[in-house]
Structures are given as structure tokens and as C-alpha cells.
Amino acid sequence: MFKFTDLSDDDVFKPETCRLDAKAFWEKRRTSSKPYVFDLRSPEDHEAGHLPGANSLPVEHFENSIYQMPFTGDILIYGSENGEALTAGEILYDNGFDTFGFTEDFEGLYRPEGSWLSVTDDALKILRDRLTEESAKAVRIEVESSSPLKGRYAVAYVPDTESVDDLIGFEVQEVPFVAAREVVPFLEGTEIFINGEDELEIQNPNLSVKALIGSIEEQVQTLLDDQVNPMVAGHGGVVSLRGIEDGKVYLEFGGGCQGCGMIDVTLKQGVEVMLKDHIPDLVGIFDVTDHAEGQNPYYQASSK
């Protein structure tokens, strides 16, 4: 059983050790094996706009909900200029949490800089040449998102005649880039380079969706890693492959998914649809989890 350690009498919370600027915040979210993001603003602000995969937890409820915080993985919290993140950060520190970071500027997370991207010199030359050839005003980064932490990356070119007023702009070595607001969470860590086939390629370590190759087992595992688990991670869940036989996939739901009363919906409407859509040869998806052993054992096992 986790036991909170009150550090308030022994030490003082030093915000500068946990405060993250926009680039560091996105980098931590991108590179962490288990990122948990919490939005400390009001439910109305969260509804109006929030980071992909962020859980709404208004700061006034934070201290009472501290026992629900994940005990492993990286906690990332953000608020507004009202100081919610600083308050929550001190609460986390006083309760013994040491793997968290915070930012007090939600809107600041949506102001990208050129340093977020890594673009090789030969790639920059090609981008400059194509902007000239196509009479374009900017390179547009596009991301087709399949989950809060995975997407397919591409570049396009914005014609001089097209407005970019609704896009967010920044520069990399004087090459103008633009992106839609919803793409900004996928920008930090993006790499643009010339690949082995002498073609321009764009990708982002840990955030790019991998191509489905190899055996059916390998393809299913790739989908679980890239699309399924990033979606359930925000609720503390994890889905593991336990075997495949005659096109039938057997999965185990752990963490927050074990004992969940909505598991049939998650399985049938979410995971099964996704896997069959990408791998048509699959016959069916089956849950082999012992949900009665979960922390919330109110799930009634399906009779099928």
C-alpha cells in the first residue's frame, strides 16, 4: 500500500526544480514511457480546449484526489495564470511525489519555436527549393492523429494565394513553417531529413505511427503499442497480447482497465474495430482478463 510522506516540515518545495517551459513539457510527454497529464483549470476551460489525452482535475479537487494519482510514471500538470499548477505542485511534493513537472501557461504550450524541430541541412535546401518552385509561402506540417500520442506525419506547401491567418507559424533557419493548432502537441522532437531513398522524410520518435510489417502477432503488437495503449494510458490502463490462434486474438486488460464495467464497450467498439480495420484477416478479439481480481471488481464477465 502506498503511504504518503509529508515532507512539508523537512523541506521546502522549490518550484524551479519542477517548472517546465513549453519545449521541456512536450519533450517529457513525448519521451516518457508512462505520461499522465492533468488539466487543473475549470471544467468549462477544459471543455473549451485542452491537451490531447489530458484528464480534467480542477485544482479545488486536487488535494482530495491525491490518492488517485498514479504511483509510477511521469505526472504532468498544467494550469493558467491563476496559479493552479503551482498549488498542485506543492501538494504533490508535500505528499512524496517526485516524478512530476508543471507549467503555469496553457496557452504558452501552443507557441512553437524552431528549436522544437530538427531539420538537416540537405532537407532545408530541398524545402527552400520547393517553396520557390511551387510559389509557396510556407511549409505546412500535417499530422493525422490516431491517438493522443501517435500520428502520421507529412509536409505540404502553402501557396502564396492561400491565407495562413488561422495557422500557427514559426521558423527554422529562416524557412517558414505553419501548423494547425491541433498539430502543435505533435511538433516537439519532429525530425525532417533525407532518407536512404533520397526522399524527404518527416517523423517524430515515439509519436510517429509505425508501418504494419511482419507477422500478424507483430502487427497486432504494433497497433497495441501505437494506438490502443496511448488511449487507455490516461486512465491508468494497459492492454497486453496473450496470444493469437486461428485468427483469434486474446487480450488481457490491466491497470485501470481490469475490473472496469465498460470493458465490453471498450473491447467491441474500440479495440476490436481498430484491429480488424487494420488487419482484416483477424477473426475476432477476446478478453481473457480475470476482472474479478481488479481493484474495481464490479465487472460482470461476459457469457460469451
List the domain boundaries for the chain.
15-110, 114-203, 216-293
| Contact indicator for 141, 157 with CB cutoff of 8 Å | no
The pLDDT value recorded for residue 263 is: 52
Question: CATH number for the 114-203 domain, one of 3.40.50.2300, 2.60.300.12, 3.50.50.60, 1.10.1740.10?
Answer: 2.60.300.12
For 241, residues 6+ apart whose C-beta sits below 8 A from its C-beta are 217, 220, 221, 224, 249, 250, 251
Which CATH entry fits the domain spanning 15-110: 3.40.250.10, 3.40.50.2000, 3.40.50.920, 3.10.20.30? 3.40.250.10
On whether the CB atoms of residues 236 and 256 are closer than 8 A, the answer is yes
Provide the residue-wise pLDDT of the chain in tens; the chain has 304 residues. Answer: 233 445 445 578 899 999 999 999 999 999 987 788 999 999 999 999 999 888 899 999 999 888 777 767 789 999 999 999 999 999 999 988 888 999 999 999 999 999 999 999 999 999 999 999 999 999 999 999 877 788 899 999 999 999 999 999 999 999 999 999 999 999 999 999 999 999 999 999 889 887 777 888 888 888 887 777 766 765 667 788 999 988 898 988 876 555 555 555 555 567 888 888 888 888 888 888 765 555 543 233 333 3
Tell me, what DSSP letter sits at residue 209? P
Q: How far apart are CA 103 and CA 2, in angstroms?
A: 26
Any idea which residue has 496553457 for its cell? 106
| pLDDT score for 213 | 76
pLDDT at 265: 53
- Of the chain, the end-to-end C-alpha distance in Å amounts to 35
User: What is the reported pLDDT for 114?
Assistant: 96
Note the pLDDT of residue 78. 97
The CA–CA distances, whole Å, from 89 to 21, 40, 45, 159 equal 15, 11, 20, 45
Query: pLDDT value at position 226?
Result: 73
Amino acid at 72: T
CATH code of the domain made up of 216-293: 3.30.300.130
Question: So what's the pLDDT on residue 290?
Answer: 67
Q: State the cell numbers at 298.
A: 464490479
Q: What is the predicted pLDDT for the residue at 28?
A: 95
Residue type present at position 213: I
The pLDDT value given to residue 199: 95
Residues 158 and 153: their CA atoms lie apart, in Å, by 16
What pLDDT, on the 0 to 100 scale, is given for residue 76?
Answer: 95
CA distance 207 to 45: 26
